Amino acid sequence: MSDRPFLLSTLVDFPDDCSEITFTEDLLAQLIDRLHWMGVRRVYWNYYGPGHWPWFIAHRPDGGTTGTLDNLGDPMAAGCRMAHERGMEFIGVLKPYENGPSHATPRSVMLENGWTGLPGIGGIYRVESWTLARPEMRVRVRQADLPVGLENVPVTRIQLRQKDMASVRIKKENLEIWTSDNNDGYRKRDLDFNLSEGVDTCPHDVVEIDGNPVTSAGDEVRVLDISGLNLLDPFIAVTTNFQDRDGTFANTPVEMVRAFGPDDEPLPIVVASHKAIWRINRDFRSGDLEYDTGLGSATVRLDVSNSEAAFENWLSRADDAPDGVVAFAKGRNRHLSGSLCEGEAEVRAYWMEWVSDCIAAGVDGVDIRISCHSSWTDSPEIYGFNRPVCEEYERRYGVNPDVEPYDPQLLADLRGDLYDRFVRAARERLTAAGLAFHHHVEIESFRPDAAPSRTRSRPGHINFHWRGWLENGLVDEVTLFGRQWQPERILADEFIRETLDEINAHGVPGHLSLPVGISRQDGDRLADQIEIAYRSNQLAGYTMYESAAMYDRMATDVGGRLEFLPGLTEAVRDRSQELGLV
């Protein structure tokens, strides 16, 4: 570890701070002053360019974003100035692959609100303006995996697969099939079909979204086959009429449902359930479902109530979405919703504009974060086949991976090489400006046993060569970015210990970044996490992610001031003093 003092820092993701509260210079100064008082000596600030802000405004049209931009101009520049006035470092954080959320909005809602976006299977993706003008620059599907003409192919059989051999209580009279023309409200169909129960073998290991095992390869599982169908509907949902919560027919959606066409040929599909990333309160009867947004690994139960009463109850318990439905649509999305492809020279040049914007704002350095909201898909392995990627693969290895057999590992490494072109260019520009260059090391996704919830948060099918960044002197510091694990687990994990050893061997300071949210109601716990990182003797600092979790971000207090959570910032301040950080 570096000999420099342990550094306490905070990440500011300012669209969250100002989504409801209209920030003035005074309110922003209150935030920076409180951070400094707590012992924070470095501020990380997520960069958003002019093309990003209109989306945030549209997302909360009656919120505080428009007034905040009117009051502050460029929020990053204002935050940087205030941090410097208090003797604090200021680092801009770029998320190259962040260009809008992965969930689609129904076309009717887009039209009603006058919004524009890019089409996907489940609706319209809302993206920032540069991407909207260049949709072909997004990470593209493999052409050999993109079926054509599926709209004219009927679904003749649906297979429902359970995760195990538990007894199945679903009978023909319990099953319902609902369909939709546009994924904006489903109607129940009065269909005659055949139902048979059987046993099959699981072809591969199955894990749920947090990486926990569901079924092992070779295990026997019970299956239900619904046959005698002839469905051309674009969206098909399978439900049951059970009214209790006692069902056991469980699996992940991508494993639970399979669709077949004429001659019993398997059909490529994307899946959905009531699980959602954003806009979580959905009901298939009256609204849309999220297709192909990475939540196909979230375990669901089919034989439980999905009644309107259950849905209304869920609205007050957003962490317990009602199951009782699995849905699918034929086909594949042509691109990731918003993430741009690192192989496109025009994309890398656009990212370099972001670096220049940060320099112009007065930052002391730039930190690059790969994870984002724009890359979520249930099938990351079929994306990453943009023309420059395929041309470079063919130049190196003699085959076109877009349409011919290829080596996935070679392709992933090649894409990592193309991403490194941006890393080197950013390093050169920042060095020329006398500024530091940092990069995130995603400790929960840069690992062989990464959970789907973490690998979905960044483009898949690409190896990011973080060890090469260290070996080649491309980064001055690293942010060890975690989202779900506590410090005790992180520092005891073998992969992370090896990562820290490698970082320290190169004399590069490593800062652990964890969400405030995992200890938001317990200031002492947050203070303990900081102390655990401090006493590890392997870390150069701790980043509290993020500032908006420290106060009531919905409204100011009666005096018009930010209302910080009772005891949270005070506990951090006290511990900072005890540890000699202030």
**CA 388 centroid distance within chain:** 25
Q: Write down the pLDDT at residue 58.
A: 83
| Residue of 406, 291, 401 lying closest to 343 (CA atoms) | 401
Q: What are phi and psi of 410, to 5 degrees?
A: -65, -40
Token digits of residue 320: 């317990």
Count of Cβ atoms closer than 10 Å to residue 497 Cβ? 13
Which residue is associated with the tokens 């009782």?
Answer: 324
- Alpha-carbon distances of 539 from 168, 228, 260, rounded to whole Å: 51, 62, 53
Asked whether residue 127 is domain-assigned, the answer is no
> Per-residue pLDDT averaged across 222-232, rounded?
98
Asked whether residue 12 is domain-assigned, the answer is no
Lowest mean pLDDT among 98-112, 214-228, 366-380: 98-112
Q: Decide if pLDDT at 412 tops 60.
A: yes
| Residue of 254, 258, 252, 242 lying closest to 300 (CA atoms) | 252
Asked whether residue 514 is domain-assigned, the answer is no
Asked whether residue 314 is domain-assigned, the answer is yes
Q: Could you report the per-residue pLDDT of 143-165, keeping only the tens digit for each?
A: 999 998 999 999 999 999 999 99
Q: Write down the pLDDT at residue 312.
A: 61
Lowest mean pLDDT among 216-220, 368-372, 419-423, 445-449: 445-449
Asked whether residue 180 is domain-assigned, the answer is yes
- Please give the residue range of the domain that contains residue 204: 150-330
> Per-residue pLDDT averaged across 181-199, rounded?
96
Asked whether residue 381 is domain-assigned, the answer is no
Number of domains in the chain: 1
Asked whether residue 212 is domain-assigned, the answer is yes
> Per-residue pLDDT averaged across 497-505, rounded?
96
Q: Please give the full DSSP string across 1-46, using - where no structure is assigned.
A: --SSPPEEEEEE-HHHHTTTS---HHHHHHHHHHHHHHT--EEEEE
> Per-residue pLDDT averaged across 502-518, rounded?
93
Query: DSSP H helical segments within 362-486, as ranges?
Result: 387-397, 408-432, 452-455, 466-471
Asked whether residue 501 is domain-assigned, the answer is no
Q: How confident is the model at residue 307 (pLDDT cuts 50, 70, 90)?
A: confident
Token digits of residue 198: 């059987």
- Alpha-carbon distances of 361 from 56, 79, 102, 356, 402, rounded to whole Å: 21, 9, 29, 9, 41
